[in-house]
């Protein structure tokens, strides 16, 4: 387990990036420390740092070694990481509509069978969850959410699919996620959201931020189709409950 | 309006520049030129800012035709035959394609990517500060996809100036240098030794996302699944089959395989130009040395405009051009025909 007192490990990611690693595991406490360091870096910028990328367990800090070297930057990052993690950071809370099952979630029935329950129970459990954006990565807008209840933890598929639909809501391992663009995935597809977490020529281009709270609300396939058209035209269609 | 029209072009060719930065936290990768030195040199030859957008031309042949005016361009990077009409033109020089003329590039002879810079740059709509194509994200301008025959660029008519050449330092030879980590502790000492001591080849299935390596199987200590964390261009991840993949500019921003080492920034362009099937080796260096090399490289990039000079009439003899060629590129120095015909230009 990770405690606030254990300093992170500084791992070189080549000559222009440092991985600040808080844990080797998916760990909620570690992710909070990652996001806290990310915020601290935004609040107290370090000259030479070009961008930072939060993940579940580490913060990848890109920098320009012409301006600052590995050792000097490492010291500054460790000092920032010592700042206390705010107990309750005010997070935005998004409610995303999801059409579960059928052609929108082709694995729902198989997941229910594998977990010896009904598709309705899977949906009810998934909708009951309160999730947090732990990281966004791999492809634009792909949002990895923490907070999946243990009952829904499932190994990834033996054979990843090469193409899964845009907007897919899926589960894999201990995680659930919102996939924005069509692409490969080894996760189990429960449904689709019409919400675009990434959409060019819309403000904002990226809807979710690491640290945002997310919940889901079921919609039927017809509503999905309507909202999908609206979203394609640039509407956000997600509900911002609190910020 | 003056245009440069692509009559034909092979796959894996796209508009690329210095890449886009600042949105990796949203999963948007940097993209940008595979060989930044070649990109910058091409731009300097036509007076553009170093990291302006160029045409990154993959290994296959391509033809470009000037319409409604003459177009000045420059070529750098992977050597290949280059002809305007019936005359050969040299790499690491600028050249003017007269209205109606066609620049024809052959298949690469060594290397993978050539860079065609256009005087005045490529007109387009930047997203996150870049025109670079990232087809997966639907980004890139003027075309958010690899280039195709029939595509065209709106360009500025060629200025009336002497053609120019650039004297680049002799290409670095030797192993591709890397810094160990971030997850080298996921590998036993003998696996790391095997990785560093073996000859590798780049698989033909490589692309702008990643170069797959062919060589011995590199085993993990604790299995191949780690919790996803951030990647950089040059990250060498080792998936379950033990065949390392070097992540390139179009990589995913995060990955769930252990990363044994990272190619140093200075050597990434040189690595990108290694043709599939050609043997090479890695060499681990320390962080201080890697960063010292990067600072030298930054100086080189900054000083590129000073390495550009006008080609005077008196320079147009084979000996002078051959000298310039040796100083500029060891690869095109082997192609005497290129230089001979330039001399008659």
Based on the domain organization, do A98 and A75 belong to the same domain? Answer: no
CATH classification of the domain holding A143: 2.40.100.10
Same domain for B158 and B259, yes or no, is: no
Task: Give B6-64 pLDDT, tens digit per residue.
Answer: 999 999 999 999 999 999 999 999 999 999 999 999 999 999 999 999 999 999 999 99
**For a pLDDT cut of 90, what percent of chain A falls above it?**
82
Grade residue A162 by pLDDT with cuts at 50, 70 and 90: confident
Structural domain includes residue B49: yes
**B184 inside domain:** yes
Tell me whether B182 touches chain A (CB under 8 Å).
yes
A69 prior amide bond cis, ω within 30: no
Q: Is B265 on the interface with A (CB under 8 A)?
A: yes
| Model pLDDT, residue A87 | 59
Contacts of A232 (CB under 8 A, 6+ apart): none
Residues B243 and B156 in one domain: no
Task: Check whether residue B194 and residue B337 sit in a common domain.
Answer: no
Quick: pLDDT tens for B269-300: 999 999 999 999 999 999 999 999 999 999 99
Kindly report the backbone phi and psi dihedral angles of residue A61, in degrees, each rounded to the nearest multiple of 5, phi listed first.
-110, 115
Q: What's the pLDDT at B335? A: 38
Residue A145 near residue A123, CB atoms below 8 Å: no
Please tell me the total count of domains within chain A. Answer: 2
Is the domain of B101 the same as that of B200? no
* Closest C-alpha to B21, from B51, B48, B1: B51
SS3 (DSSP) at B144? coil
Within 8 A by CB and 6+ apart from B190, the residues are: none
User: In the predicted model, what is the mean pLDDT of chain B?
Assistant: 90
Name the pLDDT band for A89 (thresholds 50, 70, 90).
Answer: low
Q: Give the number of A-B residue pairs with CB atoms closer than 8 Å.
A: 142
Q: Which two tokens stand for residue B134?
A: 């990232």
Question: Do residues A136 and A191 share a domain?
Answer: yes
Q: Decide if B306 is inside a domain.
A: no
Q: Does A101 touch chain B (CB under 8 A)?
A: no
**Is residue B239 located within the same domain as residue B328?**
no
B-chain CB neighbours of A23 within 8 Å are: 227
Residue A35 in contact with partner chain B when CB distance is under 8 A: no
Condensed to tens digits (0 to 9), the pLDDT of residues A167-198 reads: 999 999 889 999 999 988 889 999 999 999 99
A59 is a domain residue:
yes
Does some domain include residue A189?
Answer: yes
| Residue B260 to chain A, least CA–CA distance (Å) | 10
Quick check: A144 contacting B, CB < 8 Å? yes
* B295/A contact by beta carbon, under 8 A: yes
How confident is the model over B49-58, as pLDDT tens digits? 999 999 999 9
Interface with chain B: mutation pick from A48, A137, A157, A187, highest number of B CBs within 10 Å: A137
Domain boundaries, position A175 = 93-242
Residue B337 is predicted with a pLDDT of: 37
From residue B88, how far is each of B238, B317, B345 by CA, in Å? 44, 15, 9
Q: Identify the domain containing residue B34 by its residue range.
A: 3-164+312-343
φ, ψ at B129 (rounded to 5°):
75, 15
Alpha carbon distances (Å) from B179 to B84, B266, B288: 43, 12, 10
Contact A55 B22 (CB under 8 A): no
**Could you say which of A52, A81, A110 is where a domain stops?**
A81
Between chains, do A137 and B295 touch, taking CB under 8 Å as contact?
no
Tokens of residue A115, six digits? 């977990």
Nearest chain A residue to B21 by CA: give it.
Answer: A51
Radius of gyration for chain A, computed over Cα atoms and rounded to the nearest angstrom = 19
- pLDDT digits 0-9 by tens, B173-186: 899 999 999 999 99
Of A21, A69, A139, the CB nearest to B136: A139
What's the confidence (pLDDT) of residue B327?
Answer: 38
Instruction: Give CA–CA dist B230/B100, Å, rounded.
Output: 48
Indicate if B105 and B232 belong to the same structural domain: no
Residue-wise DSSP of A132-151: EEEEE-SSTT-EEEE---GG
Give residue-wise pLDDT tens across range A55-73: 999 999 999 999 999 999 9
Are the CB atoms for B90 and B327 separated by under 8 Å? no
* Token code pair at residue A69: 């070297």
Structural domain includes residue A2: no
Asked if the bond preceding B113 is cis, omega within 30° of 0, the reply is no
**CB of B223 within 8 Å of any CB in chain A?**
no
A203 touches chain B (CB under 8 A): no
Same domain, residue pair B147 and B9: yes
Residue B170 resides in a domain: no
Please state, rounded to an integer, the average pLDDT across all residues of chain A: 93
Q: Are residues B160 and B185 in the same domain?
A: no
Which strand (E) or helix (H) includes residue A231? helix A221-232
Measure the CA angle with vertex B248, ends B242 and B249; round to 5°.
155
**What are B337-344's contacts with CB under 8 Å, separation 24+?**
B337/B88, B338/B81, B338/B82, B338/B88, B338/B89, B338/B90, B338/B91, B339/B90, B340/B88, B341/B87, B341/B88, B341/B89, B342/B88, B342/B89, B342/B90, B342/B93, B342/B316, B343/B316, B343/B317, B343/B318, B344/B87
Residue B255: list chain A partners with CB under 8 A: 138
User: Which chain A residues have a beta carbon less than 8 Å from that of B24?
Assistant: 51, 53, 60, 62
Does A25 contact chain B (CB < 8 Å)? Answer: yes
Domain with A34 in it: what CATH number? 3.30.1360.40
Does residue A225 form part of some domain? yes
Q: Is A158 found in the same domain as A62? A: no
- Tokens at residue A202, please? 């819309």
Q: Which two tokens stand for residue A200?
A: 């060019």
Q: Which residues are paired to B236 by β-bridges?
A: B246, B261
**In-domain check, residue B253:** yes
B183 touches chain A (CB under 8 A): yes
Residue B334: per-residue pLDDT = 37
Q: What's B196's domain CATH number?
A: 2.40.100.10
Among A86, A75, A56, smallest CA distance to A174 is for A56
Same domain, B113 and B227: no
Q: Per the domain annotation, does B303 fall within a domain?
A: no
Q: Taking the complete model, does pTM exceed 0.80, yes or no?
A: yes
Q: Is residue B46 part of a domain?
A: yes
Q: Which residue has the tokens 């890449």?
A: B19
- Asked if residue A37 is part of any domain, the answer here is yes
CB contact at 8 A, B102 and B85: yes
Residues B156 and B271 both lie in one domain? no
Contacts of A50 in chain B (CB under 8 A): 21-22
Would you say the C-alpha torsion B307, B308, B310, B314 has a positive or negative sign? positive
At B220 the three-state DSSP class reads coil
Give pLDDT tens digits for B194-215: 999 999 999 998 999 999 999 9
Q: B256 or B340, which is more confident? A: B256
B287 located within any domain = yes
In a domain, A4, yes or no: no
Contacts of B71 (CB under 8 A, 6+ apart): B2, B4, B96, B97, B118, B119, B155, B157, B158
Q: What is the ipTM of this complex?
A: 0.91
Residue percentage of chain B with pLDDT more than 70: 90
Q: Choose the closest CB to B25 out of A200, A205, A210.
A: A210
Q: Summarize the confidence of residues A18-34 as an average pLDDT.
A: 92
Per-residue pLDDT of B80-90, as tens digits, reads 999 999 999 99
pLDDT attached to residue B325 = 47
Pick the last residue of a domain from A81, A101, A135: A81
Given a contact cutoff of 8 angstroms between Cβ atoms, the answer to whether B25 and A53 are in contact is yes
What A230-236 contacts at long range (C-beta under 8 Å, 24+ apart), as own/partner pairs, is A230/A194, A231/A194, A231/A195, A231/A196, A231/A199, A234/A199, A234/A201, A234/A202, A236/A195, A236/A202, A236/A207
Q: Are residues B215 and B183 in the same domain?
A: yes
Run of H or E residues at B280: strand B279-280
User: A171 — phi, psi (to 5°)?
Assistant: -125, 145
Closest by Cα among B327, B330, B324 to B339:
B324
Let me know if residue A88 belongs to a domain: no
Cβ neighbours of residue A133 closer than 8 Å, sequence gap 6 or more: A143, A144, A145, A208, A209, A210, A211, A212, A213, A214
Q: Do residues A116 and A215 share a domain?
A: yes
Sorted by sequence, the CB contacts under 8 Å of residue A72 that are 6+ apart come out as: none
What's the confidence (pLDDT) of residue A88? Answer: 57
Q: 3-class SS at B79?
A: coil
Residue numbers in A near B224 (CB within 8 A): none
Task: Looking at the structure, tell me whether residues B71 and B15 fall in a common domain.
Answer: yes
B284: CB partners within 8 A, 6+ apart: B177, B178, B179, B180, B196, B261
- Count of the separate structural domains present in chain B: 2
Last residue of a domain, one of A58, A81, A104: A81
- Alpha-carbon span B103 to B108, nearest angstrom: 15
Query: B220 and chain A: CB distance < 8 Å anywhere?
Result: no
Q: Mean pLDDT across the stretch B235-252?
A: 94
Start-to-end C-alpha separation, chain A:
30
Please check whether residues A59 and A97 belong to one and the same domain: no
3-class SS letters over A68-115: CCHHHHHHHHHHHHCCCCCCCCCCCEEEEEEEECHHHCCCHHHHHHHC
Chain A partners within 8 Å of B290 (Cβ): 14-15
DSSP state of B307: G
Tell me whether A184 touches chain B (CB under 8 Å).
no
Out of B136, B137, B181, closest to residue A12 by CB = B181
Residue A171 and residue A231 share a domain = yes
Q: Are A23 and A126 part of one and the same domain?
A: no
Measured between CB atoms, does A186 come within 8 Å of chain B? no
- Does the CB of B180 have a partner CB in chain A at under 8 Å? yes
Q: Return the percentage of chain A with pLDDT > 70, whole number.
A: 96
Mean pLDDT of B128-139: 92
* HSE of A147, CA atoms in CB hemisphere, 13 A: 22
Of A50, A69, A206, the CB nearest to B26: A206
Phi-psi region at A234: left, alpha or beta (left = phi > 0; alpha = psi -120 to 50): left
């Amino acid at each position: 387990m990770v405690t606030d007192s254990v300093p992170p490990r500084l791992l070189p990611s080549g000559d222009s990036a440092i991985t600040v690693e808080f844990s080797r595991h998916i760990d909620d406490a570690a992710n909070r420390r990652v996001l806290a360091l990310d915020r601290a870096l935004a609040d107290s910028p370090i000259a030479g740092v070009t961008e930072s990328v939060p993940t579940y367990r580490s913060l990848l800090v890109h920098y320009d070694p012409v301006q600052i070297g590995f050792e000097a930057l490492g010291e500054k990052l460790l000092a920032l990481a010592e700042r206390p993690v705010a107990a309750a950071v005010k997070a935005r809370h998004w409610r995303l509509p999801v059409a579960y099952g059928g052609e929108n979630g082709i694995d729902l029935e198989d997941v229910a069978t594998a977990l010896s329950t009904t598709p309705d129970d899977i949906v009810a459990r998934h909708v009951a969850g309160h999730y947090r954006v732990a990281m966004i990565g791999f492809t634009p807008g792909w949002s990895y959410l923490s907070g999946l209840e243990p009952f829904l933890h499932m190994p990834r598929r033996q054979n990843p699919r090469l193409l899964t639909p845009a907007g897919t809501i899926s589960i894999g391992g201990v995680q659930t996620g919102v996939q924005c663009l069509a692409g490969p995935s080894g996760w189990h597809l429960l449904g689709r959201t019409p919400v675009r977490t990434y959409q060019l020529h819309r403000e904002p281009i990226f809807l979710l931020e690491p640290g945002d709270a997310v919940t889901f609300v079921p919609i039927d396939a017809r509503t999905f189709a309507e909202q999908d058209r609206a979203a394609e035209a640039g509407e956000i269609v997600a509900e911002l409950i609190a910020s | 309006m003056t245009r440069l029209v692509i009559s034909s072009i092979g796959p894996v060719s796209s508009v690329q520049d210095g890449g886009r930065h600042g949105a990796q936290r949203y999963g948007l990768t940097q993209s940008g030129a595979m060989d930044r030195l070649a990109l910058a040199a091409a731009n300097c030859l036509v007076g553009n800012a170093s990291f302006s957008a160029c045409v990154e031309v993959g290994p296959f042949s391509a033809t470009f035709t000037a319409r409604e005016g003459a177009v000045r361009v420059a070529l750098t990077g992977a050597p290949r035959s280059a002809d305007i009409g019936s005359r050969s033109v040299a790499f690491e020089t600028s050249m003017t394609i007269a209205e109606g003329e066609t620049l024809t590039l052959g298949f690469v002879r060594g290397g993978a990517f050539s860079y065609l810079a256009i005087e005045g740059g490529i007109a387009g709509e930047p997203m996150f500060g870049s025109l670079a194509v990232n087809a997966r994200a639907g980004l890139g301008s003027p075309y958010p996809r690899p280039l195709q025959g029939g595509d065209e660029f709106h360009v500025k008519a060629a200025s009336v100036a002497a053609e120019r050449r650039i004297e680049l330092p002799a290409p670095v030879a030797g192993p591709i240098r890397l810094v160990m980590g971030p997850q080298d502790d996921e590998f036993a000492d003998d696996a790391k030794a095997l990785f560093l001591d073996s000859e590798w080849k780049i698989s033909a299935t490589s692309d702008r996302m990643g170069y797959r390596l062919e060589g011995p199987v590199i085993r993990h200590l604790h299995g191949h699944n780690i919790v996803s964390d951030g990647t950089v261009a040059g990250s060498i991840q080792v998936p379950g089959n033990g065949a390392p993949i070097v992540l390139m500019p179009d990589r995913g921003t995060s990955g769930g395989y252990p990363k044994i080492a990272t190619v140093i920034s200075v050597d990434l362009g040189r690595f990108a130009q290694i043709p599939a099937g050609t043997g090479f080796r890695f060499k681990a260096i320390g962080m201080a040395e890697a960063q010292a090399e990067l600072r030298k490289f930054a100086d080189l990039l900054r000083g590129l405009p000073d390495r550009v000079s006008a080609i005077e009439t008196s320079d147009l003899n084979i000996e002078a051009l051959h000298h310039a060629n040796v100083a500029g590129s060891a690869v095109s120095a082997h192609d005497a025909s290129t230089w001979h015909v330039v001399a008659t230009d």
